[in-house]
Amino acid sequence: MSIDGRSFAAGQAFLLSCKTYWTRVVYPAVREEYQAGRNLEESVLYQYYCWLERHLQRFKYSGRYGLQPYHAQQRQRLEQELRDAEVELAAKPEYPDYYTRIDIHQHPGGVWSDPIAGFVYERGARSTTPLAGGRHRDLHDRLTEAALEICSKPSRVLDMGCGFGKSTRPFYETLKDAEVEGVDLSAPCLRLAARDAAAAGAKRVRFRQMDCARTDYADASFDLVTSTMLLHEMPPEVVERTLAEAHRVLRPGAAMVHLDFLPGDDPFERLIHFGHSKRNNEPFMEPLARMDLPALLKKLGFRDIRIEPFEEADGVLEPGYRSWRFPWTVISARR
């Protein structure tokens, strides 16, 4: 059965409302139960919370009004839209095992296997964090601002795991004279990133298909290396190789700034975050949170290491903030 545009938009808006309810109402209620000493394994409310977390995402991608079937109906047109995208693809892409083994965040086929996966991911990303800022792009704009406070005028920037270019965009829009490189393993995402950058008139940005744990860039060739939501998608040994690669390609004194998820010591926050990792097919969130990043960065030769909470929207770090949010964290250091 085909899905018309209005029904699709209504279906996705409904899912977003459900997710907002989960974020603002169900999550704080589960926290209250936990704080009252209730064993959550026996709590129906907690089961409801977990069920909604898993299945709203599943419906969003694969349900009756899901992103995947809706976009698949328009496959021909969407593939055509990407035909002229100027992107440098690997002749024989080699995907690491961890990357292809699972459908990351329940995206059927992951973000790499279907030529239209970039469109599906782009549309899905709009409702990942319902309260994160008034605009869809706030998070990335804020990270760019934070990165440019650490490294004020970079002339060469590398965005590792750039996806469909959402994290790269504020850099190439803000730094008109800089050369900005976005690398990712996903060809469909890179094509979409390149199409959008060309439409925005960006001249000094390139998108290239590459494993960011082993790029072909020269030693000491960047002033700033950044990533957004990359590290938690990698097993610890790949995180280590990626950070070592960042160190190699940075000029001495240059900085790297990564935005990712690291829960604090609060047991409830950790329970919820590690559960999300399982329920949403993000198996490396927990291993990342358990890594000793300061020790690793020190071992790799970094200095000025800072690991700090990131305020993705006004007020979310205030003590009274009660809604669900990811434990956004900025990891920065200098070579």
Ligand X SMILES: C[S@@+](CC[C@H](N)C(=O)[O-])C[C@H]1O[C@@H](n2cnc3c(N)ncnc32)[C@H](O)[C@@H]1O
Region binding ligand X by CB under 6 A among candidate stretches 2-10, 156-164, 284-292, 314-322: 156-164
What part of residues 15-54 is at the interface with ligand X (CB under 6 A)? none
Judged by CB under 6 A, the residue of 223, 233, 245, 260 near ligand X is 233
Do the beta carbons of residue 221 and residue 156 sit within 8 Å? yes
**171: which 2 tokens?**
């850099």
Judged by CB under 6 A, the residue of 53, 114, 179, 184 near ligand X is 184
- Asked if 211 is part of the footprint of ligand X (rule: CB under 6 A), the reply reads yes
- The rounded distance, in Å, linking the Cα atoms of 134 and 307 is 26
Region binding ligand X by CB under 6 A among candidate stretches 49-57, 170-178, 226-234, 289-297: 226-234
**44: which 2 tokens?**
């129906």
Do the beta carbons of residue 234 and residue 284 sit within 8 Å? yes
For 311, the 3-state DSSP assignment is coil
What part of residues 112-131 is at the interface with ligand X (CB under 6 A)? 112
Nearer to ligand X, 26 or 234 (CB): 234
- Asked if 246 is part of the footprint of ligand X (rule: CB under 6 A), the reply reads no
For the residues of 105-130, what is the DSSP string, one character each? GG-TTTTTSSTTHHHHHHHHHTTSST
Do the beta carbons of residue 230 and residue 166 sit within 8 Å? no
Q: Which residue's entry shows tokens 């979409």?
A: 192
x/- contact string, 161-180, with ligand X (CB under 6 A)?
Answer: xxx--xx-------------
Judged by CB under 6 A, the residue of 120, 212, 288, 330 near ligand X is 212
Q: Which residue's entry shows tokens 């850099």?
A: 171
Tell me which residues touch ligand X (CB under 6 A): 99, 111-112, 161-163, 166-167, 183-186, 189, 211-213, 228-230, 233-234, 238
